[in-house]
Amino acid sequence: MKLGPAVSSESARSGRGRHVMTSLAEINVVPLVDVMLVLLIIFMVAAPMIQRGIDVKLPQSRRSTSVTGERVEITVPDSIHQSQFVFVGKQQVKLQNLQEIVRQKMEGSGDKGVFLRGDSSVQYQDLMSVIDALRAAGVQNIGMVTRMPSER
């Protein structure tokens, strides 16, 4: 007498064969990578538009010339009278500390010149206070930055 394939006692009890379900424990990263690449492109395009300088209304001059190269630039905003702050490059500095900071910046450079950008509505006394601090720091040449009448 021939018997069929051996049947386990468990499957005989339940009536069906037991199928083991394996769970898929992997995360599909393709959509995540797609979203991250789109965000990266958006930020790469938007980043240059976000960077802005300090808004200053420069006075006009018909005989202004463009200057290129590395330079120390001091910006005097129209709010200096109330806040007593100026900008060395993009760094906001208290007027009292301007002399020491400019002295530190000028130590390594052979050129002892600074470019001064002042808002057109800055009071003359406030501008002279900044110039006095620059002279006390050892600055020999102070250039005034202006704009041509055709520039905005």
What local confidence, expressed as pLDDT, does residue 41 receive? 94
Helix (H) or strand (E) holding 7: none
| Cα–Cα separations (whole angstroms), residue 10 to 3, 5, 7, 20, 72 | 18, 14, 8, 14, 86
List the one residue out of 104, 93, 103 whose CA is nearest residue 138: 103
Which domains, ranges and CATH numbers included, belong to the chain? 19-50 (no CATH), 72-144 (3.30.420.270)
The rounded distance, in Å, linking the Cα atoms of 97 and 124 is 20
Token duo for residue 37: 């690449």
Beta partners for residue 51, in sequence order: none
What local confidence, expressed as pLDDT, does residue 100 receive? 87
Helix (H) or strand (E) holding 115: strand 113-118
Share the mean pLDDT of the chain: 77
The rounded distance, in Å, linking the Cα atoms of 87 and 99 is 12
Has residue 136 got a pLDDT over 70? yes
pTM: 0.54
Sequence letter at residue 59: P
pLDDT, tens digit, for every residue of 70-113?
A: 678 888 888 887 888 888 888 888 988 888 888 888 777 666 67
The rounded distance, in Å, linking the Cα atoms of 5 and 54 is 87
Has residue 11 got a pLDDT over 60? no
The rounded distance, in Å, linking the Cα atoms of 129 and 124 is 9
Of the chain, the end-to-end C-alpha distance in Å amounts to: 105
* Alpha-helical runs (H) found in 88-137: 98-106, 124-136
Helix (H) or strand (E) holding 69: none
